[in-house]
Amino acid sequence: MDNRFFSKPLAFENVTISDGFWKRNMELVRKEVIPYQWETLNDRVPDAAPSWCMRNFRTAAALQAEKKEKGEAFVPPKYVWRGFEALPEDPSNPEEGRFYGFLFQDSDFSKWIEAVGYSLSQHPDPELEKIADGAIDIVCAAQMDDGYLDTYYIINGMDAAWTNMRDNHELYCFGHLVEGAVAYYQATGKDKLLNAACRFADYVDAHFGREEGKRRGYPGHEVAEMALVRLYEVTGEEKYLKLAAYFVNERGQAPNYFEQEEAVRAQSEGRPARHANLYYYQAEKPVREQDEAHGHAVRAVYLYSGMADVARMLNDESLFNACKQLWHSIADEKLYITGGIGGTHIGESFSYPFDLPNDSAYSETCAAIGLVFFARRMLQISPDSRYADVMEQALYNTVLSGMALDGKSFFYVNPLSVNPVACKRDERLQHVKHVRQKWFGCACCPPNIARLTSSVAQYAYTENEDTLFTHLYTAGSVRKQFADGTLTMEMVSGIPWKGNAKAVIHADAPVKGTLAFRLPGWSDQPAVRCEGKQQTVKNGYAYLTGEWREGDAVELCMPMPVRIWNADERVRENIGQVAFTRGPVTFCAEQADNGENLHLLRVSDLDPAHVTVETDETFAHSTVRLIVNGKRVVPQAGGLYRAAAAPVMEDIRIVLVPYYAWANRGEGEMTVWLRN
Amino acid sequence: MDNRFFSKPLAFENVTISDGFWKRNMELVRKEVIPYQWETLNDRVPDAAPSWCMRNFRTAAALQAEKKEKGEAFVPPKYVWRGFEALPEDPSNPEEGRFYGFLFQDSDFSKWIEAVGYSLSQHPDPELEKIADGAIDIVCAAQMDDGYLDTYYIINGMDAAWTNMRDNHELYCFGHLVEGAVAYYQATGKDKLLNAACRFADYVDAHFGREEGKRRGYPGHEVAEMALVRLYEVTGEEKYLKLAAYFVNERGQAPNYFEQEEAVRAQSEGRPARHANLYYYQAEKPVREQDEAHGHAVRAVYLYSGMADVARMLNDESLFNACKQLWHSIADEKLYITGGIGGTHIGESFSYPFDLPNDSAYSETCAAIGLVFFARRMLQISPDSRYADVMEQALYNTVLSGMALDGKSFFYVNPLSVNPVACKRDERLQHVKHVRQKWFGCACCPPNIARLTSSVAQYAYTENEDTLFTHLYTAGSVRKQFADGTLTMEMVSGIPWKGNAKAVIHADAPVKGTLAFRLPGWSDQPAVRCEGKQQTVKNGYAYLTGEWREGDAVELCMPMPVRIWNADERVRENIGQVAFTRGPVTFCAEQADNGENLHLLRVSDLDPAHVTVETDETFAHSTVRLIVNGKRVVPQAGGLYRAAAAPVMEDIRIVLVPYYAWANRGEGEMTVWLRN
């Protein structure tokens, strides 16, 4: 590991995004998602499942108030197991003093406040900030004196706290609280929530670790690992980094903590211990020995992100090697061409290598988001364009597909092939929706899209002492402090529709330093033109070093041909089929353009030069569509089975639109892979 | 409906099967399956899940004995819900006096005794008969004074009997008891079990019906309908026919009995009523209005069989029309080319029209068996070779596939494509086994194969007053009484490997009558040669009428070309693929002959005349294999996704073997459909 290349995202105040493509998405999040989400957190959306989130915080806060008032006379609630999701018998009249919703519902607030933070950093909004401050007051009021803050146990009784770390998401809620608190602090400078998060982190640090008297547990659903590294970065408190490293290193050690914990629960409940699939939790063996991406895909990439963070912070090469192996497992064996991951809905998990079914894909939006997290952290250690290519692929396809073009509905699952009849009539596809949903009871994806979209700047650029890295060509303005001064880089770019970008430098005085630009894998012979700077290329990045002056310009010419793909033959699902990409965008055929029965289409011309690229004004914003020479099989009569013959086909033009834009024009079929 | 064509199977004593192909299977059942099954019924197979079946009968019999001994002082067991499957905490030491196993476990005995009956009729075996008589003694001793005989409720308490007809299988156990009793009586003339069955039937008749004071219920799992018609046929008691007709006609009437019953249960348990999918039970509407085959496939075809029986017995045209519509729904929209039915494992059900997935197929062995039942009953009403073609297709492919060639292991599920890696690593395919299993806890399929295989004569031939119908060319000897005398027809045939058959007539004196021979749909221009008889062809049957004399011969020449099939384009799964049949046999490619990665194979020549047909001595018996001109895609390097190009292919010869013989040569891939 060459830590001279290590880098980190820029401080919020040093990046402003002005990119048309991303600005539109960020504005959707700001205007649609964040306000809507606040309503759902408060159970005020009539036709959406209640979140119960803020209600739970209020209930927990009332308990803290009662405790303060009554002092030692206060009898805390006795623990009652309320199930994974507790719902009131009469939803219109929930009982006072009860916890409702999924037991990880606290995290809804945390993801929301994180998105609010990013949004405020790009677009100040005093009204929104006031609402956020009010929410923070409620959340902080729910915190216990010792720092503990998980409303499920505060309300249901603390006796059983930390008795089921495998399933009950306390450290997941903790991790998200930290992430949200850091983002809100970084955006606003307000530290009330950050202080609460630190108090909770101190509590966790005091209770977990290898030291005598501490629990040897670790998160069932990972996220605390990367959150703690962030908390360390913002506070400088080394104990947080150590705690993150402990969680990473303890995971999967023998004897297995989750199994020990289950044995204790089983004994206390007088039942035999139940077997759990430890792969689901990435806890089957120590993380350095894990060589295949396994189990719940979101948990997995959250863990790997935390591993990469710890590896970078501690310059831990063997941990980074484990990250590289797991990256290989994903990118070379388990990645959809849409940047999605998770082949099976059973356990929302990775399937076995090369098992990438299209119609029953899980490809959860949150998993693609987690892959973006993981990819940027790998880039932070090792600026290699292969990581950035996958990050961009996930971002422009599955992450964006998760949200409707009007920001009002969401996909949890992102299939690569959809037949609405099958979605309606086939229970095996119960997890696949062919129309985006307004909200989910288990609402992880919409707020996750909100926080990622609002923070795209954190993925586009990273820096270290002497280098500013451009990973994504997201137009905007970036300020970089070098040893001898500060420069501002104004980036404009045609991405994702045109393969050009231009960076213009502003500097009051000449500044020495290196600007590094990613050479995207989707481009043929990308060229970087800049006069008077030394240029070297390494691992898909062009490094321009020299003295930068006002008006210096870097021109990037990244030819963006249509590409037609075959999958590795081990992907049985895609044998004899092709998919189309152009730049970072994966395309798909929709019924709206091509009629129904997309399985009858065949691509008859594999020469990408024969594909027509057109501007398309069909959607809410201008996009590009591809016109492909193809054929359509003409169905023949003859019964369920008939004598085989060469198919009768007619010539057609197949229209392809960006995958992220699918299902914005009513119900219909969709497919990414087409027969050829 | 033209009841002059109605027919019924021949009495056992009038048919002897000598067919090499079927005799082998019947001998397997006699020598392997029936004895093995008796051991399992008595929980004496160390490495198979206990059945608990005979144990339950013994426990119930002990209760009856106790009752007799103690008279009025006897306190019957109080009802305790033991769940759908009750297992002892310590399997090596089950508690006395308890019911164990699935609540329909009684039916294991009934299917076994039915198979025993058929087997004895073809092959007398005093030793087996003695065992069977002993078993019957135990079963009859378990019967209550009022005729009720279901050990689940006898043991757990009668309070709740008939309170959950939807799920708790009492009438299913009743129906199978009747079927077993009739078969054993017909084979041996012994009526002890038949009398018990009649007493149970009288009980059911007294308790169910539209009359005042009776329950308006009907079976949750059908089979009693066709069983009661059989009981009527053997006893002449019209009330049994009326009861069968009642069950058929009441089904799905509003208000829905299953919903009413659930409302009562919910009320007594103080919970809200749960919604049930009435389609699963074919109870969503009256059977005459049902126009699509829905729900649990075995239940469905058992119901349709009962409907056809009642339609024939009562000459009920509208009921027959419903049967025809449901037949159309299956044969033209929901039938695998292996004669299997049931596209989805969810509810072991029919999927929607044209949804016939290959790797995740359910295609339960029992469902194919039920389709054979339904087909023969349709033939009994209307001798049309289309019914016989499907009956034969199910019989020679999915039914036979259900049992290993050595009779020692069984498939419950019969996929059309298998990749062992997927079966092991993909939980979505948990229902698919790539290796036959020794026995199942829910052991419906093995005894069902046993009873069907042993009674194949009942499907090969039917008769009415003036006609003997040959539906299947199963070699054997058939005695037919005509108005003016008796003739014996000796049939020899090369089916399923050669398209020839010959029937030689023996008669002491000339006999006037009609012999009808099916002209199989798989044959090109089949010809029937017989001198001096009038020949007419109707609905795929050749009718030969005249005076039959000793030595008369009918020669059937049924050319048996290889056929290569496309599926209707609405079967998305099979687009661009072909399957092979020859005669009644569907073929498949196995890894044992073609190496792994069968998805890389392509059929390059669609001319059936270019397929080589070879005798194959690879299996336990002589079969035929097909050699097809094909290509194999040569996998290319280039990563998970690489630039699309025309596939690199090498010429190969693809070897196909009978589908029923697959998975008899170790673990490996299999596929019925091949790309072309």
Secondary structure in 3-state letters for A22-85:
HHHHHHHHHHHHHHHHHHHHCCCCCCCCCCCHHHHHHHHHHHHHHHHHHHHHCCCCCCCCCCCE
Q: What CATH number is given for A465-557 in this structure?
A: 2.60.420
Predicted local confidence at residue A627, as pLDDT: 98
pLDDT value for A200: 98
The pLDDT assigned to A310 comes to 98
How far is it, in rounded angstroms, from Cα B669 to Cα A84?
40
pLDDT digits (tens, 9 = 90+) for A499-543: 999 999 999 999 999 999 999 999 999 999 999 999 999 999 999
State the pLDDT at residue B442: 63
Cβ of residue B610 closer than 8 Å to a chain A Cβ: no
Per-residue pLDDT tens digits for B128-166: 999 999 999 999 999 999 999 999 999 999 999 999 999
- For residue A99, the model assigns a pLDDT of 94
| Chain B neighbors of A344, CB-CB under 8 A | 426-428
User: Of A173, A444, A445, A530, which is the active-site residue?
Assistant: A444
Residue A312 has pLDDT above 70, yes or no: yes
Amino acid at site B91: P
Long-range contacts of residues A492-499, Cβ cutoff 8 Å, at least 24 apart: A493/A19, A493/A556, A495/A21, A495/A583, A495/A584, A496/A21, A496/A396, A496/A583, A496/A584, A496/A585, A497/A583, A497/A615, A497/A622, A497/A623, A497/A624, A498/A560, A499/A523, A499/A526, A499/A557, A499/A558, A499/A559, A499/A560, A499/A583
Could you tell me the two tokens for A216? Answer: 């040897």
Write out the two tokens for A635: 């169905």
Q: How far is A492 from chain B (nearest CA, A)?
A: 30
From chain B, the residues in CB contact with A636 under 8 A are 566, 569
Categorize the per-residue pLDDT at A74 as very low, low, confident or very high, splitting at 50, 70 and 90: confident
**pLDDT at position B441, please?**
63
Contact, B365 vs B398, CB < 8 A? Answer: yes
Tell me which residue in A360, A425, A569 faces B600 most closely, judged by beta carbons. Answer: A569
The whole-number pLDDT of residue B440 equals 64
Q: What is the pLDDT of residue B88?
A: 86
pLDDT score for B439: 67
Nearest Cα residue in chain B from A417: B572
Q: Exposed/middle/buried for B300, CB within 10 Å: 0-12, 13-18, 19+?
A: buried
Taking CB atoms and an 8 Å limit, are B575 and A600 in contact across chains?
yes
Return the axis-axis angle of helices B224-235 and B192-207, rounded to nearest 10°: 120
Residue A462's beta-bridge partner residues? A9, A469
- Which residues 566-585 of B have a C-beta within 8 angstroms of A? 566-572, 575-576, 578-579
Give pLDDT, residue B220: 97
> Averaged over A433-448, what is the pLDDT?
80
Nearest residue of chain A to residue B646 (CA atoms): A606
| Chain B residue with the nearest C-alpha to that of A641 | B567
A91 touches chain B (CB under 8 A): no
Minimum-distance CB partner of B575 among A422, A425, A599: A599
Measured distance between the N- and C-terminal CA atoms of chain A, rounded to whole angstroms: 44
H-type helices in B434-532, by residue range?
Answer: 445-454, 457-460
* pLDDT at res. B496: 97
Q: What is the pLDDT of residue A440?
A: 64
Closest residue, chain A, to B333 (C-alpha)? A640
What residues in A contact B422, CB-CB < 8 Å?
Answer: 352, 355
Whether A445 is catalytic is no
Predicted ipTM?
0.95
pLDDT tens-digit profile of A538-560?
A: 999 999 999 999 999 999 999 99
And the tokens for A71?
């002092």
What's residue A428's pLDDT? 86
Q: Please provide residue B91's backbone torsions phi and psi, each rounded to the nearest 5 degrees.
A: -60, -25
Helices (H), A288-395: 297-314, 317-333, 365-381, 385-393
- Domain coordinates of chain A in residue numbers? 465-557, 562-675
A107-116, A260-269, A555-564, B429-438: which has the minimum mean pLDDT?
B429-438
Residues of chain B scoring pLDDT < 50: none
Distance from CA of B352 to the nearest CA of A (A): 6
Separation CA A73–CA B135 (nearest Å): 71
Is A397 within 8 Å of chain B by CB?
Answer: no
Quote the minimal CA–CA distance from A346 to chain B in Å. Answer: 7
At residue A498, the 3 state secondary structure works out as coil
- pLDDT in the model for residue B84: 83
Stretch A308-328: mean pLDDT, rounded?
98
- Catalytic positions of B are 348, 444
The predicted-structure confidence for B167-179, as pLDDT tens digits, reads as follows 999 999 999 999 9
State whether B569 and A597 contact (CB < 8 Å): yes
B449-475 pLDDT, tens digit per residue, is 999 999 999 999 999 999 999 999 999
Identify the H or E element spanning A580: strand A577-582
Residues 6+ apart with CB under 8 A from A144: A64, A154, A158
Q: In this predicted model, what pLDDT tens digit does every residue of A219-243 receive, in sequence order?
A: 999 999 999 999 999 999 999 999 9
- Number of helices and strands in chain A (H, E): 20, 25
Whose CA is closest to B38, among B122, B183, B135, B126?
Answer: B135
